[in-house]
Amino acid sequence: MASLLFYLLAATALLATLLCITRRSPVHAVIFLINAFFALALMFYLLGAPLIAAWEVIVYAGAIMVLFLFVIMTLELSPDSQRPALSRGQWAPALLLFLLLLVSAGLILTFDPASQASVPLFYASPRSFGAALFDRYGLAVEIVSFQLLFAAAGAYYLGRRRKAHQAEESS
């Protein structure tokens, strides 16, 4: 039952992502991506990561994608009028990577016996997650918090400078 649910969610995530990357309008793309993130969050839950699943919904779908929507609406972006350029120089690397993906998928499916084994049942409670995080990765938490602070300062700086620029032009 759980495996059937997993395959359904995987199909949902793949389909939503495919629709996302082919949309002309960035708003539609973001909505499809939020759909894919919900499916991914449930996959995380099935793989024994309830806290990560909650954060996927809260942080990714709730905060980051809404930030994307805000920017798209602020800039009043219109859908791409022209089709993506079909020049060979741009498609060649994508095709090469697709071939690499096919080859590696075939290798995974045929040769590697270790990965044929089922993923065992696993459940990481938020309590053990927090204990492991602050026991072993306390320094990483501090560095990440500094990084968020710097990012906030950088975003604030970029936003302010543009207003000053416009004020200069209009005066």
Partner 1 sequence: MIVPLNHILLVAAALFFMGLSCTLVRRNLVMILIGVEIMLNAAGLVLVAGSAFWQQLDGQLMVMLIMAVTAAEVAVALAMVVYLHGRTGTIDVNTFKDMQG
How many Cα atoms sit within 13 Å of 44 on the Cβ side? 16
Widest Cα–Cα separation across the chain? 70
Which residues, numbered 90-119, are part of the site for partner 1 (CB under 8 A)? Answer: 90-91, 93-94, 97-98, 101, 104-105, 108-109, 112, 114-119
Shortest Cβ distance from residue 171 to partner 1 (Å)?
16
Q: Taking the CA atoms of the chain, what radius of gyration do you get in angstroms?
A: 21
Which residues, numbered 29-48, are part of the site for partner 1 (CB under 8 A)? Answer: 29-30, 33, 36-37, 40, 43-44, 46-48
Shortest Cβ distance from residue 144 to partner 1 (Å)?
4
Which residues, numbered 73-92, are part of the site for partner 1 (CB under 8 A)? Answer: 74-75, 77, 80, 84-85, 90-91
- Using the Cα atoms of residue 109, residue 110, residue 113 and residue 114 in order, give the sign of their dihedral: negative
How far is 2 from 10, CA to CA, in rounded Å? 12
Task: Please identify which residue in 73, 138, 142, 144 interacts with partner 1, judged by CB under 8 A.
Answer: 144
